[in-house]
Amino acid sequence: MGNHWQRPGWGPNTRRYYWFLTVDHAPKVAELARRCQEPLEGAGFDIVPTEGLHITICRIGDQHDVTEQTLKNLVSAAQSRCRSLPAFDLQAVPVAGSRGAVRLSLAPWAPLLALHQALATACVDTGLKQHQPTHDFRPHLGVAYCNQETEASRVRKKIQELRNVEPQQFTVREVQLVELRRESRVYRWDVMHSTPLHSATVPLGTT
């Protein structure tokens, strides 16, 4: 595993706009994340604080490339594109690794892919670049970021038993446009706008 914080393009003054989902309304998901973080503390990982748990849907652009008017236009386009999307239930499923993080998997993917497609299209509608096609989108919820090169086999041993922990369910009712920054080795953000989904909820097992 590689150092997550060595991604190119980030500096102390970098500010980027993203579409995020947050789980501050889902305490059981936060408890699950905390349980999955425990074996990784002091093992070459930076633990994501409860208030930092998030699901990245798609990148919008750097602050210096996106004007205030473009953001306003984007919000309007996103509201139009998301108007027909229902709120939906998800499960946060322990636990998997990537090249630079340990994370909870999410299921089902279908409503997340539909949301990504809607928001990516809203970006294109507004004249912004689409950074990631929907077919490459891999939704997840990070719980710890690797801060040094680490043998993946060692990490697998630490988290193997956690894969049997019961998943936790939560409901997605809105998506947030955020301005993201790094403070040391933690992500922080300010919510610029929240776009609601349709009030009807698609329950698990029906997508």
Which residues are within 8 A (CB) of 19 and not within 5 positions of it... i.e. 6 or more apart?
A: 56, 57, 58, 60, 78, 119, 175, 176, 177, 178
Q: Which domains does the chain have, with CATH numbers?
A: 4-202 (3.90.1140.10)
For position 207, what pLDDT does the model report? Answer: 58
| 22 or 204: which leads in pLDDT | 22
- Contact at 8 Å (CB) between 99 and 2? yes
For position 103, what pLDDT does the model report? Answer: 96
| pLDDT (tens digit per residue) in 101-124 | 999 999 999 999 999 999 999 999
- Beta-bridge partner residues of 105: 93, 140
| pLDDT (tens digit per residue) in 57-82 | 999 999 999 999 999 999 999 999 99
For position 197, what pLDDT does the model report? Answer: 94
For position 130, what pLDDT does the model report? Answer: 83
Answer yes or no: is pLDDT of 200 > 90: no
Beta-strand (E) ranges in 76-205?
Answer: 86-97, 101-107, 140-146, 168-172, 174-183, 186-196, 198-202
Answer yes or no: is pLDDT of 203 > 70: yes
- Cis upstream peptide for 8 (omega within 30°): no
Answer yes or no: is pLDDT of 142 > 90: yes
| pLDDT (tens digit per residue) in 146-187 | 999 999 999 999 899 898 899 999 999 999 999 999 999 999
Cα distances from 169 to residues 75, 92, 102, 146, 193, in angstroms, run: 28, 6, 19, 26, 25
| 176 or 11: which leads in pLDDT | 176
